[in-house]
Amino acid sequence: MNTGRLIACHECDLLQREAPLTGEGVLRCCRCGAELYRHHPDSLDRALAYTLTCIVLFVIGNAYPIVGLSVNGDLVQTTLLGAVRALYTDGMWPIAGLVFVTTFLMPLMQMSAIAYLLVPLRLRRLPYRADIVFRMLHLARPWGMTEVLILGMLVALVKLAHIASVVPGVALWTFAALMLLLAAASAAFDPHELWQRIGGHSRSAPGPEELAAASARTAMASGLMTCHSCGLLTKTGPHVHEASCPRCGAHLHERKPASFARTWAFLIAAMVLYIPANMLPVMNTSSLFGSEKDTILSGVVYLWTSGSWPLAIIVFIASIAVPMLKILAIMFLVISTQRRSVALLQQRTRIYRVVELVGRWSMLDIYVITILVALVQFNALATIQAGPAAVAFGAVVVLTMFAAMSFDPRLIWDANESNHG
Ligand SMILES: [Zn+2]
Ligand SMILES: [Zn+2]
């Protein structure tokens, strides 16, 4: 008989016995296929090595210019933070804030949190208040968008090459390396092993009475709750609404609170803003030959007609297709779940996973505009400014991300449970 620890799937709430992984491998939910956890040998040491390298690259990447533009012998350059400042002084503080948070603050928080947790463990000490830092890491993860920034830089380079000669800066290569190492660090970091090393798990692993209570198929039906941050399974107490995880301190709930209402609220706000985001100009270019206002779509058309059709396709997918499909997909998930449909449970869970994964790529256009605004500032010759649609568009991306985060995929499977009786 399998005597592994009891764990609950975070996407369908099914209770399962943990199969111990000795070598490299991934443990998946036997019902919905969600990744329960991933095991690498010496995962924490590898995560630490990657992260320390990332911190060095991050410092270099922010100290040197990303790209320069040479016009009539003058070289105009910008760093990432310089580009953020240019947007801010232009009055585009919502976009400046969004770019600062997603490309500087959140990646920094992610790297420092991993280093904070792993350096002491490596020196055989316990990190102080690991619970708070672990939650910070969990919070920062979905919002760090270095990989999207890289693609944005490339698109901006192609657009700039039409205006003047472009000089790629040191930071461009540094950020590309940073992107790969951040992904490696994130993949190697195993929260499971972290908590095992910290030792907090002995106190909070389900005791015999919890295991006895686990008579039903799902955690909720067995009176258990999973921590959405660290995955620990705990017994549902009488005060469900004030419960917090004994291991990492995150707020505990059987299902995300008011999931449908909140998802709808974010979704409707996103749909409303999707209209100005596509109708209004996203970028104003003024030059000697007059001024030109570009919408998102006309930017795609421009890339297409100027011969950069691979980039035109990428920008079209990221900025027009993804936000629209994402809104429709979440709407489909919420409506079908509210109607307690038991059809296509696995496929709907898969749609949810894809939606969570691809939404961030819509930020592409925001990054392209950021770099263009920072570099094309030749008062007499040409100036590029961000238009009002940029703010609306940034809001659509953030709102659809919030909508996806508010939706609880376990609700999809709850309909199945109640039908089984
Ligand atoms: Zn599952
Ligand atoms: Zn927890």
356: region left, alpha or beta (phi > 0 left; psi from -120 to 50 alpha) = alpha
Q: Domain for residue 303, yes or no?
A: yes
Inside any domain, residue 172: yes
* Average pLDDT score over residue span 5-33: 82
Please tell me the total count of domains within the chain. Answer: 3
272 and 368 share one domain? yes
Q: Kindly give the distance from the C-alpha atom of residue 14 to the centroid of ligand 1, in angstroms, as a whole number.
A: 6
Q: Mean of the pLDDT values across residues 390-409?
A: 93
- How does the average pLDDT of the chain come out, rounded? 86
**414 CA → ligand 2 middle, Å:** 22
120 and 145 together in one domain = yes
Least confident window among 12-21, 73-82, 85-94, 192-201: 192-201
Ligand at shortest distance from the CA of 135: 2
Tokens of 333: 């998930």
User: pLDDT for 41-50, tens place per residue?
Assistant: 788 899 999 9
> Are 268 and 177 found together in one domain?
no
* pLDDT attached to residue 231: 81
Distance 30 CA to ligand 1 centre (A): 7
How far, in Å, CA of 345 to CA of 342, rounded?
6
- Determine the structural domain holding residue 191 and report its residue range: 42-200+247-252
Kindly state whether residues 164 and 34 are assigned to the same domain. Answer: no
Shared domain for 47 and 174, answered yes or no, is: yes
- Tell me which DSSP letter residue 343 carries: T
Shared-domain flag, residues 265 and 304? yes
Question: 120-157 in b/e burial notation, b at 16+ Cβ within 10 A?
Answer: ebeeeeebeebbebbbbbbebeebbbbbbbbbbbbbbb
How distant, in Å, are the alpha carbons of 130, 181, 190, 205 from that of 42?
20, 17, 9, 23
pLDDT of 214 reads 60
pLDDT of residue 263: 95
* Domain identity same for 103 and 186: yes
Region 137-148: what's the mean pLDDT? Answer: 91
The domain spanning residue 332 has which CATH number?
A: 1.20.140
3-state secondary structure 11-28: CCCEEEECCCCCCCEEEE
Q: Ligand 1 centroid to 18 CA: how many Å?
A: 13
Q: Which of 182, 213, 242 is the last residue of a domain?
A: 242
| pLDDT given at position 203 | 46
Q: Give the best-scoring range by mean pLDDT among 52-61, 154-163, 206-215.
A: 52-61
The CA 15 to ligand 1 mean position distance, Å, reads 9
- Residues 217, 195 share a domain: no
Element of type H or E holding 67:
strand 67-71
* pLDDT of 421 above 60: no
The domain boundary, picked from 191, 223, 252, lies at 252
Identify the CA nearest to 137 among candidates 191, 206, 99, 89. Answer: 191
Whether residues 191 and 215 share a domain: the answer is no
Ligand 2 mean position to 27 CA, how many Å?
Answer: 19
Q: How far is the CA of 345 from the centre of ligand 2 (A)?
A: 27
1 assigned to some structural domain: no
Tell me what pLDDT residue 206 has.
53
What amino acid occupies position 95?
Answer: I
Whole-model pTM over 0.85: yes
Q: Are residues 162 and 149 in the same domain?
A: yes
Both 348 and 374 in one domain: the answer is yes
**Nearest ligand atom owner, CA of 250:** 2
User: How confident is residue 53, by pLDDT bands cut at 50, 70 and 90?
Assistant: very high
Centroid of ligand 1 to alpha carbon of 43 (angstroms): 24
Tell me, in angstroms, the distance from the centre of ligand 1 to residue 217's CA.
Answer: 11
Q: What pLDDT, on a 0 to 100 scale, did the predictor assign at position 250?
A: 84
Do residue 155 and residue 10 come from a single domain? Answer: no
